[in-house]
């Protein structure tokens, strides 16, 4: 394991843990705000499909990040696939997730350049 892979594992784990903590405190408030605004503007307190998609993405980001970090620590062969998935998912979370995603893609690109493929 080189230093960049080590950093990426801890960046994924740290981002995931921080995301879980933030969601644990803020998700109930977010859902209630969505319901209140829907009640005011649409007359119904039900969440729309867009709101459900946003909440799902918010929950998916830390879960996939923790999974990528855990698989990296365990040095499983599926690490590259899960890390790629995590990097794609966290890219939309500006600025921290974007930095982690870009760093992952830069690292993978530099590995392919060293192996003579580029």
Q: Which pLDDT tens digit goes with each residue over 46-95?
A: 888 999 999 998 999 999 999 999 999 998 889 889 999 999 999 988 89
pLDDT at 114 over 90: no
pLDDT at 40 over 60: yes
Average pLDDT on 3-20 reads 95
Q: What is the pLDDT of residue 118?
A: 46
Going from N- to C-terminal start, the domains of the chain cover: 3-112
Long-range contacts for 5-10 (Cβ within 8 Å, ≥24 apart)?
A: 5/72, 5/107, 7/103, 8/72, 8/83, 8/100, 8/103, 8/104, 8/107, 9/68, 9/69, 9/72, 9/73, 10/69
């Amino acid at each position: 394991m080189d230093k960049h892979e080590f950093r990426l594992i801890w960046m994924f784990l740290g981002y995931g843990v921080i995301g879980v903590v933030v969601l644990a405190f803020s998700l109930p408030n977010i859902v209630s705000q969505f319901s209140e605004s829907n009640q005011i503007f649409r007359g119904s307190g039900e969440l729309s499909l867009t709101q459900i998609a946003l909440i799902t993405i918010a929950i998916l980001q830390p879960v996939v990040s923790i999974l990528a970090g855990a698989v990296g620590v365990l040095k499983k062969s599926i690490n590259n696939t899960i890390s790629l998935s995590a990097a794609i998912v966290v890219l939309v979370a500006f600025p921290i997730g974007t930095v982690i995603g870009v760093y992952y893609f830069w690292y993978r690109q530099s590995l392919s350049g060293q192996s003579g493929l580029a």
